[in-house]
Amino acid sequence: MKVDLINLTKKFMGITAVSSINLDIKDGEFVAFLGPSGCGKTTTLLMISGIYKPTTGDILFEGERVNHFPPKDRDIGMVFQSYALYPHMTVYQNLVFSLMLKRRPKDEMKAEAKRVADIMGIGTLLNRKPGQLSGGQQQRVALGRALIKQPKLLLFDEPLSNLDARLRISMRGEIKKLQNNLGITSIYVTHDQIEAMTMADRIAVIKDGILQAYTVPEELHDKPKTLFIAEFIGNPPMNLFEVKLLSEKGSLYADLGKGVKIGIPKTRTPKDTQKGVIKMGIRPQDLHAGKDKGIKTVIELVEPMGRDDLIVCQLGDKDIHFLTDPGLKLKTGNRINILPDMEKSQFFEIETGKSLLWA
Partner 1 sequence: MKINKLFTKSFPYILLIILTLPIILGYLWIVITTFSTRIYGLIPVDQSGNYFRGLTLSNWTFLTDKTKTLNVSIWLLTFNTLIIAVGLTVGVVLISMMAGYALSRIKFPGRKPFLSLTLILHSFPSVTLLIAIYFVLRWIARIPILGRGIPIIGGFGYNTLGGVILVSIALQLPLGIWLMKGFFDNVSWDLERAALIDGCSRWRTWWQIMVPQIMPGIAALSIFSFMEGWKSFLIPYSFMTSHARATLSTLLNEMMSESSPTDYGTLAAVGLFQLLPIIIFYLFTQKYLLNIFSGGVKGTA
Ligand X SMILES: Nc1ncnc2c1ncn2[C@@H]1O[C@H](COP(=O)(O)OP(=O)(O)O)[C@@H](O)[C@H]1O
Binding interface with partner 1 (CB under 8 A): 46, 49-51, 70-72, 76-78, 80-82, 84-88, 97-98, 101-102, 130-131, 138, 145, 149
**Nearer Cβ to ligand X (71/333):** 71
What one-letter code names the amino acid at 313? C
Which residues are CB-contacts of 118 (< 8 A; sequence separation ≥ 6)? none
Q: Looking at beta carbons only, is 157 or 309 nearer to ligand X?
A: 157
Contact 158, 191 (CB under 8 A): yes
- 106: partner contacted, choices Mg ion, ligand X, partner 1, none (Cβ within 5-8 A by kind): none
CB of 45 to ligand X, least distance (A): 8
Q: Residue 59: beta bridge partners?
A: 5
Of 194 and 312, nearer to Mg ion (C-beta) is 194
Compute CA distances 1 → 184, 240, 270, 320, whole Å.
8, 40, 41, 45
Looking at 1-9, 15-23, 39-47, 177-185, which segment touches Mg ion (CB under 5 A)?
Answer: 39-47
Residue of 32, 38, 45 lying closest to 15 (CA atoms): 38
Q: Which does 12 bind (CB under 5 to 8 A by kind): Mg ion, ligand X, partner 1, none?
A: ligand X
- Sequential DSSP letters for 206-230: EETTEEEEEE-HHHHHHS-SBHHHH
Nearer to partner 1, 175 or 260 (CB): 175
Which of ligand X, partner 1, Mg ion, none is residue 39 near (CB under 5 to 8 Å by kind)?
ligand X
- Residue 40 is a binding residue for ligand X (CB under 6 A): yes
- Whose Cβ is closer to partner 1: residue 81's or residue 185's? 81
Query: Quick one: residue 109, left, alpha or beta (phi over 0 = left, psi -120 to 50 = alpha)?
Result: alpha
213 touches, from Mg ion, partner 1, ligand X, none (C-beta below 5 to 8 Å by class): none
Strands 56-61 and 3-12: antiparallel
DSSP class of residue 267 equals G
Name the minimum Å distance from CB 328 to ligand X: 41
345 touches Mg ion by CB under 5 A? no
Could you say which of partner 1, ligand X, Mg ion, none residue 98 binds, taking C-beta under 5 to 8 angstroms by partner kind?
partner 1
Site for ligand X contains 203 (CB under 6 A): no
Beta bridge partners of 340: 287
**CB of 122 vs partner 1, minimal distance in Å:** 17
Q: Which is nearer to ligand X, 16 or 285 (CB)?
A: 16
CB within 8 Å of 164: residues ≥ 6 apart: 135
- Give the nearest distance from C-beta 131 to partner 1 in angstroms: 5
Taking CB under 6 A as the criterion, the residue among 38, 87, 135, 276 binding ligand X is: 38
The angle formed by the CA atoms of residues 159, 162 and 167, to the nearest 5 degrees, is 85
| CA atoms of 25 and 164, how far apart (whole Å) | 30
353-358 contact pairs (CB < 8 A, 24+): 353/226, 353/227, 353/228, 354/225, 354/226, 354/227, 355/223, 355/224, 355/225, 355/226, 355/227, 355/230, 356/270, 356/271, 356/272, 356/275, 356/278, 357/223, 357/268, 357/270, 357/271, 358/223, 358/224, 358/225
**Rounded CA separation 130/113 (Å):** 16
The DSSP element (H or E) to which 137 belongs, if any, is: helix 135-147
Is 21 a binder of ligand X (CB under 6 A)? no
* Options 31-39, 53-61, 169-177, 251-259: segment touching ligand X (CB under 6 A): 31-39
Q: Rank residues 8 and 357 by Cβ distance to Mg ion and give the closer one.
A: 8
- The listed partner (ligand X, Mg ion, partner 1, none) that binds 80, CB under 5 to 8 Å by sort, is partner 1
Stretch that binds ligand X, among 40-48, 53-61, 211-219, 237-245 (CB under 6 A): 40-48
Among 8, 25, 33, 42, binds Mg ion (CB under 5 A): 42
Instruction: Using CB under 6 A, list all residues that contact ligand X.
Output: 12, 17, 35, 37-43
Instruction: Using CB under 5 A, list all residues that contact Mg ion.
Output: 42
